[in-house]
Amino acid sequence: MKNIMARRKPFYSLALIFSVIMLLQPACISQTATITDSPAKATAATNLPVSSSTSQNIPDGARVIPERVIPVPATASAELGVFMRAPINTNADRPKFEPKTAQDWREYVKEADKISVIFGTGMLKSFPGKYENTKVAGVPVNILTPDGIAQENADMILIHLHGGAFCRFGGVAGISEAIFMTQSWKIKIISVDYRMPPDYPFPAGLDDVVTVYKELMKTYKPENIGIFGTSAGGGLTLSAVLKLKDLGLPLPGAIAPGTPWSDLTKTGDTYYTNEFIDDTLVSYDDFLAAAALSYADGHDLKEPLLSPVYGDFRGFPPTILTTGTRDLFLSNTVRVHRQLRKAGVEADIQIFEGMSHGRYAYFPNLPEHAEAMGEIVGFFDKHLGRR
């Protein structure tokens, strides 16, 4: 396996600045949370009584947990600990996220993506290779061709699907993950700038991914194509393969859905156990809930092409999944892994200690980033072109 984990020095300073800025960003919910280094600093938890009015709303068998303190684990990297030590800036006085019109959504996304646009633009300026903003079969894409592509990778390509809850990180705002991949593995990548709500809800974005894949099959063998993405991009990766199966098309050689939003409903253990523990997503009950409804546009949220964990994974290509113990989507990822294994699919899962949602994908100063990318690259290198 060659050209794996190539030097990424031009991006370290940008990534460090981005990390600091992201720590200062408010989350899209109206709660507060505190984290301490030592449980000794907290008052011992007690079995607090539950009021009769509260108990009426508790599902049968549910466990009521008193206020508790979650220490920063010494078992995670010091760099990751920086994120865990930062207070979750949730703005207790912030009104609930309730966009009422399409224009409300557009204005929110424009404001929320400002920093990511600046970051992505800066990374492209120092990208060691060729960058093209163009269209493939009419679909907007960003094509990254790094300098010094390995000879063994010349006839292979990766499709990147950005995250952002199916409504954010379009254009250069979602390019950083793809750039980091080109620097971990010298291979050509097409990042699909798929259509999103409010103007283009489901299934527009999924259709765009399938269109690009079908066009690439005219140049590349299916077994030489890989698909990867994080969060919504991970969910869309799974949905795309389900759609390709439905269409009877040859499937890609391997896929890497990172912490996939595989269930748009609030179903799964860690939607509850990691609420306010995950310092990226924090909670389902605000922005994510609104984004799910906006993307689905009236469709049942449990339709497999929306929530692929409910799909038929038989015949899927080899798959590597990535998540962390503090990830709100840990259950989404684990459930997909179990469904894949039940379907007889070769599937690996890497789970990082103390990591919240998607941290591994966007911060190359984290040791976990190098480990995660090394595993993903090794998985692609092992499986692409092998059928």
- Cα 183 to Cα 11, 33, 147, 202, distances in angstroms: 10, 36, 10, 32
> Confidence class of residue 279 from pLDDT cuts 50, 70 and 90?
very high
Tens of pLDDT along 185-238?
A: 999 999 999 999 999 999 999 999 999 999 999 999 999 999 999 999 999 999
Task: Using the predicted structure, report yes or no on whether residue 8 has a pLDDT greater than 60.
Answer: no
- Of the candidates 205, 160, 170, the residue with the CA atom closest to the CA atom of residue 296: 205
- Cα 64 to Cα 6, 46, 49, 269, distances in angstroms: 48, 11, 9, 14
Mean pLDDT of the chain: 87
> Confidence class of residue 44 from pLDDT cuts 50, 70 and 90?
very low
Tens of pLDDT along 86-140?
A: 888 555 545 577 788 999 999 999 999 999 999 999 999 999 999 999 999 999 9
* pLDDT for the residue numbered 49: 39
Find the helix or strand (DSSP H, E) in which 141 lies: strand 139-146
- Of the candidates 296, 364, 294, 361, the residue with the CA atom closest to the CA atom of residue 329: 361
207 Cβ neighbours under 8 A, 6+ residues apart: none
Task: Using the predicted structure, report yes or no on whether residue 336 has a pLDDT greater than 80.
Answer: yes
> Number of helices (H) and strands (E), helices first, in the chain?
13, 8
Question: What is the distance between the alpha carbons of residues 308 and 243, in angstroms, rounded to a whole number?
Answer: 10
* pLDDT for the residue numbered 14: 56
342 Cβ neighbours under 8 A, 6+ residues apart: 313
Domain locations along the chain: 9-27+101-383
Task: Using the predicted structure, report yes or no on whether residue 346 has a pLDDT greater than 80.
Answer: yes
- Of the candidates 384, 320, 318, the residue with the CA atom closest to the CA atom of residue 152: 384
Matching CATH number, 9-27+101-383, of 3.30.420.40, 3.30.450.40, 3.40.50.1820, 3.40.640.10: 3.40.50.1820
